[in-house]
Amino acid sequence: MSTIDRPEFGTDGLRGRAGEPPMDPETLRRVGAALGVVLQRGGGAQKRVLVGNDGRESAPWILEALGQGLIASDVAIADVGLCTTPALAFLTRTQPFDAGIMISASHNPAHDNGIKIFADDGTKLGSGVEAEIADLALQLRPADPRTPRMRDRQDLLQKYEEHLAERFPTLDLAGRTVCIDAANGGGSLLAPRMLRAFGAEVVEVACEPDGFNINDGTGALHPETLRAAVLEHGAVLGICLDGDGDRGIFVDELGNVRDGDDVLSLFGRELHAAGALPGDVVVATVMSNLGLHKSLREVSVELLVTPVGDRHVFEAMRRRGASIGGEQSGHILFADHDLVGDGLYTGLRLLALDAPQGLAARFAGFRRYPQQLVNVPVARKPDLATVPAIAAKAAEIERALGDDGRLLLRYSGTEPKCRVMIEASDAAVCERLCRELADVVRAELA
């Protein structure tokens, strides 16, 4: 049996190009076996794992490799098939499973894939457990691979749909048109079916996965097509999911694209006005726009800032007892939805607002500062503060921005890239400063 490199879990599980480490059969077989060993330490009856996927062509063989490792550790496997990450997390928590695995690379292109592992309470595994699984994967030598037996449990998705229906008992979308872009991913069947269950006239965009078209010019990173559909059909809302459905970008009835900062501003202000914002706090990451800070400050709401990643938002919300938090990218976590990012649920929350004048007016409290983001490919990732040219240029820009702008410079947690983001009151200044710093980063690290 060949050796493997230690599988390094990032901010959202394992991720990479399908077929290459860590997303190769041998590594995944050992990760499955390692997860099984960790689960078996709890003792008791045979452990059960629920698996779902977002429709990528590589999902079947990835499932088989994981399954080979799991059965080598005497773990039973159930397959829910095409689904969203929030649905998988919900079913792991509410059904008799000891863990859940979502096979997905989220917003990445079709040639990538990944796995997110959930504990039996529907939360992502902690970094300590992930590190233990990575260490065990190096040590274990699963028995000769054999085809794993897996129980087909696509029927479980009805449980999740019933859960959403119960959360919105008075929502009636009869006579209203809603556009849904599922990025040809995990929500392609589920999301349109759910909207129709509430009575909506549904216009489907990118809801026909073929294994290769996921996120291909569609979904949360590309809301342009959805915007055109909203305007063409006179829709009250457009809901734009990413590949695995845990984030949502929205288009209001006027064609304005609304990201996570828009949503956090709207609900932060609405919940505060209703006396339903514990501690008067909203949680967001360092990527959120300066306009969100100012929008919430206007109504005396604190914006608690965390590092990038919905895991950090989750932890801060639980620590502070916050009712809402999220990311600019569209991960929105509601305390009354089990702190799970769910683009469809957020869309239903928007549709459930009493908005006779349309949703555009409800978003009006948020004024976005011009923001420029450049992702610079890098060959290495030294501490940015230790690279003199980069540190000097960053300090120069921060002095120039003062209190009316900000700079964020960090590495991607999942890709070999350095993210350079600048906000300023003037768009031209923002673009120039971002370009200048990106050029320095490129010269030093590419």
The model carries a pTM of 0.90
Amino acid 309: pLDDT: 86
Going by pLDDT thresholds of 50, 70 and 90, the confidence category of residue 315 is very high
User: 145-149, 184-188, 274-278: which range is least confident on average?
Assistant: 145-149
Token pair recorded at residue 308: 């990038």
Strands (E), 286-360: 302-306, 324-326, 332-334
- The sign one gets for the Cα dihedral 273, 274, 275, 276 is negative
Going by pLDDT thresholds of 50, 70 and 90, the confidence category of residue 410 is very high
How do residues 328-360 score in pLDDT, each as one tens digit? 999 999 999 999 999 999 999 999 997 778 899
Better pLDDT: 157 or 404: 157
Amino acid 221: pLDDT: 94
Region 114-126: mean pLDDT is: 95
Map tokens 């260490």 to a residue.
Answer: 135
User: 156-165, 214-223, 408-417: which range is least confident on average?
Assistant: 408-417
Region 381-403: mean pLDDT is: 95
* Residue of 58, 106, 188, 265 with catalytic role: 106
Q: Give yes or no: 323 in active site.
A: no
Most trustworthy range by pLDDT among 113-122, 142-151, 347-356: 113-122
pLDDT > 70: percent of the chain: 100
Residue 103 pLDDT > 90, yes or no?
A: yes
Is 218:111 a contact under the CB 8 Å cutoff? no
Residue 1 pLDDT > 80, yes or no?
A: no
Q: DSSP letters of 332-382?
A: EEEGGGTT---HHHHHHHHHTS--TT-HHHHTTT--PPPEEEEEEE-S---
Q: Distance between CA atoms of 320 and 317, rounded to whole angstroms? A: 5
pLDDT > 90: percent of the chain: 89
Of 157, 195, 179, 199, the C-alpha closest to 348 is 195
How do residues 192-206 score in pLDDT, each as one tens digit? 999 999 999 999 999
Token pair recorded at residue 79: 């397959």
Query: Other CB atoms closer than 10 Å to residue 13's CB: what's the count?
Result: 22
